[in-house]
């Protein structure tokens, strides 16, 4: 579904992606892990053009993503570390905004679908609250509902639980697990190793802008083939 | 010390009618200045170099020269060049709109830059087009942040509008001067004019507070 070839990206003189090649199949759940500054987030942000890559190519269903900006963004949903909910809109308006503005569906239709989505993330009772009245975990669940409202084919998660208090991590991971069960294609940048091990089909381990390992989680976590991955896992597990 | 307000009484309606003139003047300048200022601010944060350069140069000129000079240029010099006499009121409105747009564009630019970058990214990731994102996501949040600064600019505009009296527009100030000159008594009409300006500014201040409170409902 997504083919990445020789992806390179620099910020000024700092090369953060040094030739990443991989592919993501439909329905796959991919965990991207690695130390801070290894280029994980940049890699993810390149996939929906929040960053433009310098070299290499990204093909989505055979088409170059540079030629399909808005269309691409309809296909790919994204969840951010800091939620980025729209603070001046209610929870319901946050979820219905893009479907109404971008997909041009009617307000009543959008609200009906939004309420369904809010139910699946367990926040039906918060529909008319403003984001400032929600906990971090609730905000992130709304952000997931907001992304899902566009009916994306792929969901990107950029450290979705890193900004949360520990007791709220579980509720967000639970919502993500439900998505996995529904067969959603997901790319998740995360520091939750237990979660990655449990739900991922593949683990991409990145270090210093390179893709160091691309492995099934069982193998990666039990018996990583590179010293770099071994050292990393020793620190975080 | 001999204040005689009784003598002023017949002229009070004449001066008070100036409120209407001043209000019209301020309202039109405000709306035009706000719209033009918003456009300039979008130029400033936009990607098109020539527009950015233009908006910066524009702001620099209008902030760097006296308002009264700009007004006299527009009122006296433009007819000299073009032969078109636009009248005192229009010349005043034009000057104030063009001038306050320079200040307002800076206020709005700062407000837009203060909106969290994540807001733009979230809107982009949802496929929201630039125009919709600006109008419905970024500007409403920017507006909330800059409301106090904007009210300040509007208050300044209301008070400074008194200088249109220089080119003969019959605003509160001009009327007070006319009454003063015909009665040979300046203190009473000027005091009245001062009171009227003060009340106008107080009303603007109150309106600003009400708006701020309403915008705070999402906090």
Smallest Cα distance from A89 to chain B, Å: 7
Inter-chain touch A88–B125, beta carbons under 8 Å = no
**What digits encode the pLDDT tens for the residues A64-121?**
888 877 777 778 999 999 999 999 999 999 999 999 999 999 999 999 999 999 999 9
State the pTM of this model: 0.80
- Tens-level pLDDT at each residue, chain B (219 residues): 677 777 788 888 888 888 898 888 888 998 999 999 999 999 998 889 999 999 999 999 999 999 999 999 999 888 888 888 888 888 999 999 999 999 999 999 999 999 999 999 999 999 999 899 999 999 999 988 898 888 888 898 899 888 888 888 888 888 988 888 888 888 888 999 999 999 999 998 998 888 888 877 767
Could you give the strand order of the β-sheet that contains A29-33, starting from the edge strand earlier in sequence? A76-79, A154-158, A185-189, A29-33, A202-207, A210-215
Query: Is A191 an interface residue toward B (CB < 8 Å)?
Result: no
Verify whether the Cβ–Cβ distance A86 to B127 is below 8 Å.
Answer: no
Closest CA to A196 of A34, A3, A79, A7: A34
**pLDDT for position B1:** 61
CB distance B118–A80 less than 8 Å?
yes
**pLDDT value at residue A42:** 92
Q: What are the φ/ψ torsions at residue B151 (nearest 5 degrees)?
A: -60, -40
Residues in chain A predicted with pLDDT less than 50, given as ranges, are: none
Residues 6+ apart with CB under 8 A from A126: A91, A118, A133, A134, A138, A142
- Is A77 touching B (CB cutoff 8 A)? yes
Alpha-carbon distances of B117 from A85, B110, B120, B124, B211, rounded to whole Å: 12, 13, 5, 11, 25
Q: What is the pLDDT of residue B65?
A: 95
Q: In what order do the strands lie in the sheet with A2-11?
A: A14-24, A2-11, A55-60, A63-64
Chain B interface includes A88 (CB < 8 A): yes
């Amino acid at each position: 579904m997504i083919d990445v070839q020789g992806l390179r990206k620099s910020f000024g003189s700092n090369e953060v992606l040094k030739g990443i090649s991989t592919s993501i199949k439909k329905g796959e759940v991919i965990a991207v892990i690695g130390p801070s500054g290894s280029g994980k987030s940049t890699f993810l942000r390149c996939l929906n053009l929040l960053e433009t890559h310098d070299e290499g190519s990204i093909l989505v269903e055979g088409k170059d993503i540079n030629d399909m900006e808005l269309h691409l963004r309809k296909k790919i949903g994204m969840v951010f570390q800091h939620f980025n909910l729209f603070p001046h809109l209610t929870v319901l308006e946050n979820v219905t905004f893009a479907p109404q503005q971008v997909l041009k569906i009617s307000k009543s239709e959008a609200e009906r679908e939004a309420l369904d989505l809010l139910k699946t993330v367990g926040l039906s009772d918060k529909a008319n609250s403003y984001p400032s009245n929600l906990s971090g975990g609730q905000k992130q669940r709304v952000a997931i509902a907001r992304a899902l409202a566009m009916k994306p084919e792929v969901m990107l998660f950029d450290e979705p639980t890193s900004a949360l208090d520990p007791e709220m991590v579980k509720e967000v991971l639970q919502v993500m697990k439900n998505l996995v069960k529904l067969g959603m294609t997901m790319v998740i940048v995360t520091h939750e190793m237990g979660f990655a091990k449990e739900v991922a089909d593949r683990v991409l381990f990145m270090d210093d802008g390179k893709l160091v390992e691309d492995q099934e989680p069982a193998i990666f976590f039990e018996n990583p083939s590179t010293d770099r991955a071994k050292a990393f896992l020793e620190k975080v597990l | 010390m001999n204040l005689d307000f009784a003598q002023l009484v017949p002229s009070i309606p004449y001066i008070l009618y100036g409120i209407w003139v001043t209000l019209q003047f301020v309202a039109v300048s405000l709306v035009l200045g706000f719209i033009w200022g918003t456009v300039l601010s979008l130029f400033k944060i936009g990607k098109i170099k020539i527009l950015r350069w233009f908006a910066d140069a524009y702001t620099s000129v209008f902030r760097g020269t006296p308002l009264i000079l700009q007004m006299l240029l527009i009122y006296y010099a433009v007819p000299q060049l073009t032969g078109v006499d636009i009248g005192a009121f229009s010349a005043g409105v034009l000057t104030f709109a063009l001038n306050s747009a320079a200040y307002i564009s800076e206020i709005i630019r700062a407000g837009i830059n203060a909106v969290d970058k994540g807001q733009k990214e979230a809107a982009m990731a949802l496929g929201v087009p630039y125009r919709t994102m600006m109008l419905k996501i970024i500007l409403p949040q920017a507006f909330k942040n800059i409301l106090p600064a904007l009210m300040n600019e509007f208050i300044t505009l209301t008070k400074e509008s008194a200088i249109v009296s220089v080119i003969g527009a019959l605003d509160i100030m001009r009327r007070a001067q006319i009454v003063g000159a015909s009665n040979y008594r300046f203190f009473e009409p000027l005091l009245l004019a001062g009171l009227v300006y003060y009340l106008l500014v107080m009303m603007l201040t109150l309106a600003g507070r009400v708006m701020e409170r309403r915008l705070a409902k999402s906090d």
